[in-house]
Chains A and B, each alone.
Chain A
Amino acid sequence: MDIDLITQVLFAAIKTGTPLLFIALGEAICEKTGVLNLGQEGMMLMGAVVGFMAAYGTGNAGFGLLGAMIIGMVMSLIFGFLVLHLGANQVATGLALTIFGTGLSAFIGSGVVGQTITGFQPLSIPVLSDIPVLGKVLFSHDVMVYLAVLLAIIIAFVANKTRLGLTIKAVGENPNAANAIGIKVLRVRYLAVMFGGAMAGLGGAYMSLVYTPMWVENMTAGRGWIALALVVFASWRIGNIVLGAYLFGLASIMHLVLQGMGWSISPNLLAMLPYVATIIVMVIISADKYKEKLLAPRSLGKPFDPRQMA
């Protein structure tokens, strides 16, 4: 492998990992408060289509991002109302959100299939982008790649170093105790769910504004689900999520690498790689039952009902 190919591959791995990073960061916060939202794929698709339509309509990709975040939050509120207010099963409600988002996005997006827009242009950071190899790999991306990293740093700081982070942890580990010391458990969870929605919207918008850039039905191809798995692999740690997202980005583009190296394997078989990789990593990580139990937020997936608190 020559150095040019390696540069291209690493550059593409970061690009491909970025949507996963957005979604996994949002879902990690959501899960830290004890809420498992399996609707990522649906929210992501809605973010992708609404982001695309907003950018297409206004000619401004910035409005696309805004629209994607708003629709992600609206979608997550449906989920939040059902699981937080009505105590509905989180698994079933998340699946409903994915089914709904898949259908609705295809429905409203049928008019803009095949249209193109100018997405975000690469933003080369002066001086740094001139460094050989590293300059191209790390410092010549579009603005959203940097935004994702910036958000990861902020989230890691908030989660680990601030009072808010402690509140989030308390709600996720022991909602009854959190409630007893006066934390509004449902409010914290609502906000976390909405944050997750906005991040999933951004992840979707990255697909339709930058990565492709266009709208195709079901264009996220399971990335929402892979991001959910990523949160588990990363043991809910933000640093691990960043690393994991880029590694999965690399796994997702391995087929291009193998083809570049002259391997003649069917592209359809190679397309399975990210999903197979997800299963393999999941098996390795979760084989240790006790470790996962120790690391997962204690109240994950369990409803909290203030009505039953006397």
Chain B
Amino acid sequence: MIQVQARTEPSTLMTFASPFLAIVLTLIFGSLLFTALDKDPLQALHVLLILPLSDAYNISEMLVKMGPLLLCAVGLALCYRANMWNIGAEGQLLAGALGGSAVALMFIDSNSALAMPLTLLGGILSGMAWAGIATFLKVKFNSNLILTTIMLNYIALYLLIWAVHGPLRDPEGFGFPESALFSDATLLPVLSDSGRVHLGVAFAIVSALFAWFLLSKTHLGFKIRVYGADEPAAIYAGYNSKAISWFVMLFAGALAGLAGVSEVAGPIGQLTPNVSPGYGYSAIIVAYLGRLHPAGAIVAAIFLAILYMGGDLAQIEMGIPIAVVGMFQGILLFFLLACDFFIRYRIVPYREKMA
């Protein structure tokens, strides 16, 4: 027989194998689900996973979805490493989209070279401000960060909806809740000949590489890792825990804000109520799947972007509701957490205890 035994130290192999194992289990589960729903499971998996990579256009659309996921996830990974439970990437992204749009609309009739950089800056600062509120309440008043960031997500959403119905609505838009189309000078340049891969996607990759460097090569990154792994040790070493909290939160807010403004000044081209299909929440899964490591986040963001893209295609091709994407994300995180059990434990043949 077998028994479960605690490992003397966490398994490195399982740390890396667990996300892949979780993906395989999710796909098996998904196939069973599709079979139960009378949909051909092989066709469904083909549409969900292979079709998004089948031609240059689909790949470029996948990368467009990867951008915001990765930007948010890199910031979250740093937060979670420092034990800051920031669930607010969605709100910070929306704040970035809103703040960036407010700037972009000032340049509506302009072709100034400053239009695009200032729009991006507006988005980044708005995201930072939104993250800053939660951080201030946490550092100053000891408020529960999970709950404040969640509440701020809802507040940001209503603020954005209010803005597109009110001050930022296109006066010539026949009353639709949308802003005017941004001027060409404001829009992020497209990087590829075909498709819509824009500068924001490049920002995402650069931010991941930067965060990787920061975590592994700098003193600040070292402090973040120590603080997350052993808070008493970090305090004993005299690290300023407030400064670390502020840094990771503002960094995450800046990246999420950049993600938001890159959406409105990128593929969307105006402010609409539907800026994000929940990228900020999915980024939590990306961060975990990527083992809270910026490099891992790149791989995980690509996988989730494929899933998003595949969800769109599955709706068109097979009439499968788009909600299946959210469901798969939840199942994936469940399986990941379950597989992580084997980082700390192993299964060994049962042996009678020595008397």
Residues of A within 8 A of B (CB): 38, 42, 78, 82, 86-89, 91-93, 95-107, 110, 217, 221-222, 225-226, 228-229, 232, 266, 268-269, 271-272, 275-276, 278-279, 282-283, 286-287, 289, 292, 307-308
Chain A residues with CB below 8 A from B4, complex form: 307
Most buried by B among A82, A99, A217, A279: A99
B148 touches A279 (CB 8 A): yes
Q: With A103-B328, A272-B155 as known contacts, state yes or no: A82 contacts B334, CB within 8 Å.
A: yes
CB distance from B82 to the nearest CB of A (A): 14
B141 touches A88 (CB 8 A): no
Interface size on B, residues (CB 8 A): 46
A286 to B143, CA, bound (A): 6
B143 touches A279 (CB 8 A): yes
**Residue from B137, B152, B155, B158 within 8 A of A283 (CB atoms):** B137
B341 at interface, CB cutoff 8 A: yes
B8 at interface, CB cutoff 8 A: no
Nearest residue (CB) in A for B147 is A229
A110 touches B323 (CB 8 A): yes
Chain B residues with CB below 8 A from A96, complex form: 285, 330, 333-334, 337
B284 at interface, CB cutoff 8 A: yes
Q: A100-B329, A105-B323 are in contact. List 12 more A-B contacts (CB 8 A).
A: A82-B338, A86-B338, A87-B344, A98-B330, A99-B284, A99-B333, A100-B333, A103-B324, A225-B147, A279-B148, A286-B143, A287-B142
- Sample 22 A-B pairs with CB under 8 A, ordered by A number: A82-B334, A82-B338, A86-B338, A88-B341, A91-B85, A92-B333, A95-B87, A99-B282, A99-B329, A100-B327, A103-B324, A110-B323, A229-B147, A266-B162, A272-B154, A275-B155, A279-B137, A282-B137, A282-B144, A282-B147, A286-B142, A307-B345
Chain A residues with CB below 8 A from B165, complex form: 266, 268
**Residue from B150, B324, B329 within 8 A of A225 (CB atoms):** B150
CB distance from A62 to the nearest CB of B (A): 28
Q: With A82-B337, A106-B326, A269-B162 as known contacts, state yes or no: A222 contacts B144, CB within 8 Å.
A: no
CB distance from B136 to the nearest CB of A (A): 10
A287 to B154, CA, bound (A): 23
A103 touches B325 (CB 8 A): yes
Most buried by A among B137, B162, B284, B334: B334
Contact code string B158-169 (vs A, CB < 8 Å = 1, else 0) = 110110011000
Chain B residues with CB below 8 A from A266, complex form: 162, 165-166
B331 at interface, CB cutoff 8 A: yes
Nearest residue (CB) in A for B4 is A307
Nearest residue (CB) in B for A224 is B150
B146 at interface, CB cutoff 8 A: yes
CB distance from B44 to the nearest CB of A (A): 13
A99 touches B330 (CB 8 A): yes
CB distance from B311 to the nearest CB of A (A): 10
CB distance from B292 to the nearest CB of A (A): 11
Chain B residues with CB below 8 A from A99, complex form: 281-282, 284-285, 326, 329-330, 333
Chain B residues with CB below 8 A from A229, complex form: 144, 147, 151
B143 touches A283 (CB 8 A): yes
A228 to B288, CA, bound (A): 23
Residues of B within 8 A of A (CB): 4, 6, 85, 87, 137, 141-144, 146-148, 150-152, 154-155, 158-159, 161-162, 165-166, 281-282, 284-285, 288, 321, 323-331, 333-334, 337-338, 340-341, 344-345
A99 to B345, CA, bound (A): 27
CB distance from B267 to the nearest CB of A (A): 23
Chain B residues with CB below 8 A from A279, complex form: 137, 143, 148, 151-152
B326 touches A95 (CB 8 A): no
A221 touches B154 (CB 8 A): yes
Chain B residues with CB below 8 A from A225, complex form: 147, 150-151
A229 to B144, CA, bound (A): 9
B321 touches A106 (CB 8 A): yes
Most buried by A among B158, B161, B324: B158
Chain B residues with CB below 8 A from A217, complex form: 323
Q: With A86-B338, A225-B150 as known contacts, state yes or no: A232 contacts B333, CB within 8 Å.
A: no
Q: With A88-B338, A100-B334 as known contacts, state yes or no: A275 contacts B147, CB within 8 Å.
A: no
CB distance from A31 to the nearest CB of B (A): 12
**Residue from B144, B161, B327, B344 within 8 A of A232 (CB atoms):** B144
Nearest residue (CB) in A for B161 is A268
A103 touches B162 (CB 8 A): no
A226 to B141, CA, bound (A): 19
Q: With A104-B327, A104-B330, A279-B143 as known contacts, state yes or no: A92 contacts B151, CB within 8 Å.
A: no
B326 touches A286 (CB 8 A): no
CB distance from A271 to the nearest CB of B (A): 5
A78 to B327, CA, bound (A): 14
Nearest residue (CB) in B for A305 is B6
Chain A residues with CB below 8 A from B281, complex form: 99
Nearest residue (CB) in B for A221 is B154
A95 to B321, CA, bound (A): 22
A268 touches B162 (CB 8 A): yes
CB distance from B351 to the nearest CB of A (A): 16
B330 touches A269 (CB 8 A): no
B323 touches A100 (CB 8 A): no
Chain B residues with CB below 8 A from A271, complex form: 158
**Residue from B87, B147, B151, B323 within 8 A of A103 (CB atoms):** B323
B341 touches A283 (CB 8 A): no
A103 touches B338 (CB 8 A): no
**Residue from A38, A87, A92, A232 within 8 A of B341 (CB atoms):** A87
Chain B residues with CB below 8 A from A292, complex form: 142
Chain B residues with CB below 8 A from A97, complex form: 330
A92 touches B158 (CB 8 A): no
Nearest residue (CB) in B for A308 is B6
A95 touches B166 (CB 8 A): no
Chain B residues with CB below 8 A from A110, complex form: 321, 323
A222 touches B150 (CB 8 A): yes
Chain B residues with CB below 8 A from A222, complex form: 150-151, 154
A282 touches B334 (CB 8 A): no
A286 touches B338 (CB 8 A): no
